[in-house]
């Protein structure tokens, strides 16, 4: 997984445990694609200060994931559900019975809410 | 949900973010069903000290859940998956086709890993 993407995902999971600044800067860097210099300019601080705040936040995010593993678990779970969805679609194709197709559709809808 | 059960579940989710003592005492209290006095005796400290450590840990667990909501999300997800499992069992009963029954069984097995 690309590093920025991973950081952005970790921030989605654990961002509420960061300080406001850590969250904002990581969000700007990963999701709004701003450079460290741009973030520094927007906040009237040095590029090095921005870098330090991001690094500190990043370290916390990785520590939370190491302990709690919510991201890993969620990604595994999504993979399993996607596999199930594929199997359901396969059965739908093999069996043209309208009633069964409707039930399978409703199950897929339910499962799609989980990924 | 009974309070001890809730505390025990929160501890399963966020226990790794507690101190060793907080985790141990909450575990003893909720899962091993020890009284505060028994925990105090086992650890050669006062009942009040045990109570303070548990209360502090409990407060942290509730704060983590308030921010991250992993327990709430997981319980909702399990509810949805259980609903899907019930629907799958219903289709299995309605359709005696052996091939479809096998596929549904494998899907159920997959989903059962998620609850």
In this complex, is the C-beta atom of B67 within 8 Å of any C-beta atom belonging to chain A?
A: yes
Phi/psi-derived region of residue A2, left when phi > 0, alpha when psi is between -120 and 50, beta in every other case? beta
Residue of B nearest to A13 (CA): B68
Q: What is the dihedral of CA B86, A89, A84, B87, to 10 degrees?
A: 0
Indicate the residue of B16, B97, B106 with minimum beta-carbon distance to A68.
B16
Domain B3-68 -> CATH class: mainly alpha
Q: Which of B53, B45, B61, B81 is nearest to B12 (CA)?
A: B61
Q: Which of A58, A97, A82, A45 is nearest to B114 (CA)?
A: A82
Low-confidence ranges of chain B (pLDDT < 50): none
Model pLDDT, residue B70: 95
Interface size A-B, in CB pairs within 8 Å, comes to 63
Model pLDDT, residue B67: 97
Grouping H, G, I as helix, E, B as strand and the rest as coil, residue B109 is helix
User: Is B103 in contact with A90 (Cβ distance < 8 A)?
Assistant: yes
Low-confidence ranges of chain A (pLDDT < 70): none
Q: Which of A44, A71, A8, A79 is nearest to B110 (CA)?
A: A79
Distance (Å, rounded) from C-alpha A80 to C-alpha A32?
Answer: 31
CA–CA min distance A77, chain B (Å):
7
What are the sequence ranges of the domains in chain B? 3-68, 74-112
Model pLDDT, residue A92: 79
User: Is B70 in contact with A70 (Cβ distance < 8 A)?
Assistant: yes
Model pLDDT, residue B85: 87
Which residues of chain A lie closer than 8 angstroms to B83, CB-CB? 110
Q: What is the DSSP string of B21-89?
A: HHHHHHHHHHTS---HHHHHHHHTS-HHHHHHHHHHHHHHHHHHHHHH-HHHHHHHHHHHHHHHHHHHH
Q: What is the pLDDT of residues A84-104, one digit of tens each?
A: 888 888 877 777 777 777 778
Model pLDDT, residue A26: 98
Model pLDDT, residue A93: 79
């Amino acid at each position: 997984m690309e590093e920025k993407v991973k950081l952005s995902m970790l921030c989605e999971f654990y961002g509420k445990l960061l300080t406001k600044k850590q969250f904002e800067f990581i969000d700007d860097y990963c999701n709004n694609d701003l450079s460290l210099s741009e973030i520094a300019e927007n906040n009237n601080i040095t590029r090095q200060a921005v870098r330090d705040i991001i690094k500190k936040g990043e370290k916390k995010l990785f520590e939370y994931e190491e302990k709690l593993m919510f991201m890993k678990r969620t990604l595994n779970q999504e993979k399993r559900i996607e596999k199930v969805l594929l199997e359901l679609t396969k059965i739908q194709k093999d069996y043209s019975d309208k009633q069964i197709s409707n039930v399978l559709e409703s199950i897929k809808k339910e499962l799609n809410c989980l990924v």
